[in-house]
Amino acid sequence: MNTELNSILNKASIKLIENQKELIIKSVFKVSNKSNIGVLLIFLGGIFIIYVSIFKSTDWFSIILGGLLGGIMFIISLLTLIDQTSNYIKITKKEIKFKHKLKTQCFTLNSNIKIKMTQYREYTKSRTNTYYQNITLYLINSKSKIEIFSFLIEGKDGKEAKKLGRIIVQKLNNRITGLKKNIKIFTLIYQLLIYN
């Protein structure tokens, strides 16, 4: 892989592993990513509120309210961290397997499967009017359209985000198309052997 692609992958907190047997695209947790810093602050804030409400409060109302608020912050941020660190797509010779939004799914490759990409800007409410470029990949087959992977990059790197999304979609579709061709060839050979 070239250094430009590695730079974009690093900004998107994505690791790409490609060899003859498989193609793997997975999320990597990086503290330098601004959205991860926000989630970590909410996580630590939840722990702090729980601690203060249990060990420093004197009345039951503060203990219950602080425990609930801190617990909700803690659980939501923990699930977000788990989700961000466990997302992946893996294509082998026979199947595509992915984990997205804490849900793992697997599909046997066939001629109906395609990967598509959507992109949009996500604005945050702040004085600087920060925005992120959100790239989402979908698996489309004859029955449904399923979200399989997404990532955010800061708005200033929006062009790079789109480029990375297109590269990932191309790599995934090339793998799927290559496997479809192999399946067609094996099917043709099998039919020739049966009929001869």
**Spatial distance between the Cα atoms of 158 and 69, rounded to a whole number of angstroms:** 35
Answer yes or no: is 68 within a domain: no
* Side chain identity, residue 161: A
Whether 26 is in a domain gets the answer: no
Look at residue 163 and tell me if it is in a domain. yes
47, part of any domain: no
Q: Which DSSP letter does residue 82 get? A: H
SS3 116: strand
Per-residue pLDDT of 128-176, as tens digits, reads 677 788 889 999 988 889 999 998 888 788 888 888 999 999 999 888 8
The answer to whether residue 103 is domain-embedded is yes
**20 found inside a domain:** no
d(CA 171, CA 169): 5
For residue 187, what are the domain limits? Answer: 93-196
Contact 110, 96 (CB under 8 A): no
Burial (CB count <10 Å: 0-12, 13-18, 19+), residue 24: middle
In a domain, 85, yes or no: no
Nearest to 98 by CA among 89, 107, 86: 89
| Distant-in-sequence, close-in-space partners of 140: CB < 8 Å, separation ≥ 6 | 113, 114, 115, 116, 146
120 found inside a domain: yes
Task: Give the span between the Cα atoms of 176 and 24, in whole angstroms.
Answer: 13
Give the Cα separation of 49 and 193 in Å (integer): 71
Q: What is the pLDDT of residues 93-134, one digit of tens each?
A: 888 999 998 899 998 888 788 999 998 887 776 666 777 888
| pLDDT digits 0-9 by tens, 48-78 | 999 999 898 888 998 999 999 999 999 999 9
Report H helices in the chain.
3-11, 34-55, 60-86, 158-195
Specify the number of domains making up the chain: 1
